[in-house]
Structure 1
């Protein structure tokens, strides 16, 4: 059962996975650091206190959507046990940051290799802050994002367009509190019987 922290926990899980794989591939020498970033961070690269510092790979969640494939089954289950379950998808843009375009392309290739080489995130691969259940799993798969949609995502920000890899994290199920069953109600009828005059 994942709690309300599940979305942030998935972001942390992807960052942790990338950093582990970067270390495996490049045990010594310069390698990027994966970070969870927002649009404000894109304008502050390499400034004091910046989240993104060269070399880096940023993981940016630009959109959340309902997982329509699993929503009906979870809604049916909620109707039976009274516990709401919301299945979500996180739409991610993976970008590389370096002073040289060749290095950025290498870091993007390294990120793609890391994400494609991993199966679903389960157990210890899921950041513990998500309050995960024993059977919870999140798939990280390529997202089918049209060029127009990618451009629109950047038009909403003040930063210039960057080459990105679109990925999708699915299905992140946020569970509500267990529903309460109605208490049994006992109806006591009282009446008076009398004789009419």
Structure 2
């Protein structure tokens, strides 16, 4: 798959998809702009230089985890060819920002419809900065996040709790540099060595 830029490329891919579809769904009038955001951006909405400006839909990666389903097979493959492969899951929070609650709910509904209809990012839907290989794909699906886990995520930030849609992007595989393939190990047995020969 990709190198170290893969995570950022997936974030850019999700944002680009949302913005393309927002423009198609709402060709005239107010429409949100999808942006990649971090926790510091949540406290600076609509301020000079802010990433989030109403109306907006923010995509925030709040957690990374190992994809345990694909990890064993990739580790076995790496043992054969010497190429390390790390399969990751990106846990995303999608939030809407507007002056009115009704508008925020509309933007969240629109974002959910788009991501449900195009859950598989592949080919031109993947941002080119990821250096993807032909056939690479990333699936963006709803994440089954417990309410207490969502609350804990916001407790780690200074911003107030916001209604969010949790998603997970899987599998984002980061490949390491190719190294020499492990060679055959040969064990040579030797007989006992006398004390005189050992000196």
Give the paired residue count: 184
CA RMSD of aligned residues (A): 1.2
Runs of 4+ in 1 over 4 A off after TM superposition: none
| Structure 2 match to 1:32 | 32
> Conserved in 1, the CA contact under 8 Å of 2:95 and 2:163?
yes
The residue aligned with 1:19 is 19
How far does residue 181 in structure 1 lie from its aligned partner after superposition? Answer: 3.5
Q: How does 1:37-186 map to 2 (within 5 A)?
A: 37-181=37-181
Summarize the Cα distance change of 1:119–1:95 in structure 2 as closer, same or farther, 3 Å threshold.
Answer: closer
Relative distance call for 1:182 and 1:98 in structure 2 (3 A) is closer
Question: CA separation in 1, counterparts of 2:89 and 2:181?
Answer: 30
Shift in alpha-carbon separation, 1:101–1:179, aligned structure 2, 3 A? same
Deviation at 1:159, TM superposition (A): 0.1
Contact 2:79 2:182 in 1 (8 A): no
- In structure 1, runs of 5+ residues without a counterpart are 185-197
Q: Report if the CA contact (8 A) 2:81-2:182 is conserved.
A: no
Shift of 1:178: 1.2
What TM-score comes out, normalization by structure 2 length? Answer: 0.90
**Structure 1 SS opposite 2:52:** coil
**Secondary structure of 1:54's aligned partner:** coil
Unaligned residue ranges in structure 2 (runs of 5+): 185-199
Give the Cα–Cα distance (whole angstroms) in 1 for the partners of residues 17 and 70 of structure 2. Answer: 26
Distance 1:123 1:17 in 2: 12
